[in-house]
Structure 1
Amino acid sequence: MNILSTPKWIAPFNFGFKKYGDIPQEVFDRINNDLDKVLSGNPKVSILISAWNEEVNILRCIAALAKMQTKIPFEIIVINNNSTDHTQDVLDRLHVRNVFQGIQGWGPARQIGQENAKGEYILLADADCFYPPTWVDAMIDVLKKPGIVCIYGRYSFIPEPGFPRWKLFLLEKMKDVIAEVRQIKRPYLNAYGINMGYVKEYGLKIGFVMKMIRGDEGRLAFDMMSYGKIKQVRSDKARTWTGPRTLEKDGSFGKALSSRILREIKRFGSMFTAKEPHDTKTSTND
C-alpha cells in the first residue's frame, strides 16, 4: 500500500473539472471508446453505482471502470437517485446503463439497480471512488468460491490539504486491523457500498431496506449469512481509492481519528459475540 503517494493509475482519471459545463466532448468520447471495448450485453457481473449530485465524480469513477482489465463480461448500471445537478446529463452522454430511483436513499437506489441487473454477481461501487484495473478479477475470484455469498474489499484515501497521505496511511492500517476483529463474529459491519460484492440471487431474495438510512449494505450482508459466508478480500488488487470527504466532516484529521478510535473502543467488546437474528428492515442504527 502507498505510504506517501497515491497509485499512478489514478492520475489519468482525477480530472480537475469543477462542474458539468467544464467537461469537453473529447473526454466523453475517450471514455465511451474505452467503455465500448469492455462492456458486455451478456454480463456475468453487474457493477451498481448509486449517484446523487455527482456530475463530476461519476465521470471519474466510470473513466476508471472503463479501463478494467478482465475477461469476465460485465456491465455498469448507474442509479440516479433524485440528483438536482447535471448527473443525468453526464449519464446521457456515457455508454452505460442508467435508471432513476425517486425514493431517496442508498437502499432504494441499490434495490432498483439489482432488479435491473443482468449479471449473476453484483459489485457495489461509489460514485466518488476510483477502482483499479484489477478490481473485478480480484473480487470475483473470491466471490465465486463455494459457500461464499458476500465479499468486501479494503479502501484507501487520496490526500488533500490537512489530510496528508502518511497520516491517512496510519488511519487505514488501524481500520484494516479493526476489520480483522469484526470479521470474526460480525463481518457484515465491514460491508460498505464503496467496495462490496454478492450473489444477486440472494440479494433479490433479501432486498435492500427501502428508506434513507446508513448501513443498508451491512443489513443486506447480515441477512446474507443465512445463505453462506461473508469473506474479506485483502488483496490490494481490489483496494478502492476515494477522497477524504467523510473525514473532512469532522473538521480535521485529528478529530476524525479520535472520534473513530472512541467509537471502536466503546463497541470493541461486543465484536466477539455474534449479533442475534433481527428484522434488519425495521431496526435502527442505535
Structure 2
Amino acid sequence: MHVFKNPTWLNQFSYPYKTFEEIPASVFDTINQDLMRVQSTEPLVSIIIAAWNEEINILHCLASLSKTKTSIPFEIIVVNNNSTDNTQQVLDKLKVKNLFQKIQGCGPARQLGSENAKGKYILLADADCYYPTCWVDEMMKVLQRPGVVCVYGRYSFIPEPGFQRWKLFLMEKLKDIIADIRHLKRPYLNAYGISMGYVKEYGLKVGYVKYNIRGDDGRLCFDLMQFGKVVQVRSDRARAWTRPRTLQKDGSLSNAFRKRIIVEIKRFNKLLTPLPPHDTKTSLND
C-alpha cells in the first residue's frame, strides 16, 4: 500500500494538457503504438469504458491500459455517452473501438458496449481512472474460477490539495473494512464500474437499467447473483487509481468521511441480511 505518496507508475501518465487542442500528435502516436500492441482481434475479454465529457481523462485512462501486461487477449471499447466536449475527437485519434450512446447514463452506455463486445468476459473501467499493468490478469484470475459470475476490485485516491495521501490511505482502509462487511450478505453494494467484471452471457441476460441513475453497476451485480458467486479481488497491486472528485463534492475530506460514516451506521443492520429479490430496473436507491 502507498501510505504517503502515489505509486511511481502513475508518473508516466501525468500529462499537463487541459484541452484536446493542447495534445501533441506525438502523444497520440505513442499511445496508439501500445494500444495496437496489446489489443486482439479475437479477444477473450472486452474492457468497456463509459465516457461523458472526459476529453483529457480518457487519454490518461487509455494510456494506462495500453501498458497492460497479460497473455489474455483483450479489446477496449469506449462508449461516448452523449458528450458535449471533445471526447469524441480524442477517441477518433486513438486506436480503440468507440461507440456513441445518446441515452444519458452509465447503464445505457455499458449496455451498448456489452452488446457490441466480442469477449466472453467483460471488465468495466472508468474513464477518469488509471489502471496498473497487472489489472487484467488479477481480475481475470478470480473471474475465471468455477462458479464465479461477477467480481469487483479495490481502488485508491490520488492526492490533491486538501486531500493528503496519508489521510486518503486511512479512508481507504476503512472503506476496505466496510466492503468486507457488506460482502457477507450484500456484495453488490461493493460492485462499482471503476473495477468490475462479469461473464458476458449472464450480463446480457439480465441487462443494465436503460436510464440515468446511480448504481447501475450494483444493480447488474445483484441480478447476476442468481447465476453464481460474486467475489472480491483483494489484490492491492490491482487497485485502480482515481482523483478524489467524488470526495471534493463534499467540500473537504473530513466532510466526506463524516458523511460516509453516517450512511454506513444508518444501514448497518441491513448489511447483516440479504436483500430480497426485487425488480432492479424500477427500484429506488435506498
TM-score interval, smaller chain: over 0.9
User: CA RMSD, aligned part only?
Assistant: 0.5
Query: Does 2:171 match 1:171?
Result: yes
Q: Counterparts in 2 of 1:53-202, with a 5 A limit?
A: 53-202=53-202
CA–CA distance in structure 1, aligned partners of residues 189 and 78 of structure 2: 24
Alignment deviations for residues 25-61 of structure 1 (CA, whole Å, 9 cap, x no partner): 0000000001111000000000000000000000000
What TM-score, normalized by structure 1, do the two folds share? 0.99
Any idea what SS the aligned residue of 1:91 has?
helix
Alignment coverage as a number of residue pairs:
286
Distance in 1 (alpha carbons) for counterparts of 2:16 and 2:268:
40
Letter in 2 for 1:139: M
Secondary structure of 2:283 counterpart: coil
Q: Distance in 2 between matches of 1:69 and 1:14?
A: 20
Q: Distance in 2 between matches of 1:138 and 1:57?
A: 23
Query: Identity of aligned pairs, percent?
Result: 65
SS at structure 2 position matched to 1:172: helix
CA shift at 1:19, angstroms? Answer: 0.8
User: Runs of 4 or more off by more than 4 Å in structure 1?
Assistant: none
Q: Deviations over 1:205-251 (max 9, x none)?
A: 00000010000010000010100000000001221000000000000
Amino acid at match of 1:116: N
Task: Give unpaired runs (5+ residues) of structure 2.
Answer: none
Distance in 2 of aligned mates of 1:14 and 1:271 = 39
Give the superposition deviation at 1:269: 1.1
CA deviations 1:86-124 (Å, max 9, x no partner) are 000000000000000010001000000000000000000
1:40 aligns with 2:47: no
Counterpart of 1:237 in 2: which secondary structure? coil
Mapped to 2, the partners of 1:202 and 1:228 lie a distance apart of 10
CA distance in 2: counterparts of 1:275 and 1:257, whole angstroms = 26
Query: What amino acid sits opposite 1:8 in the alignment?
Result: T
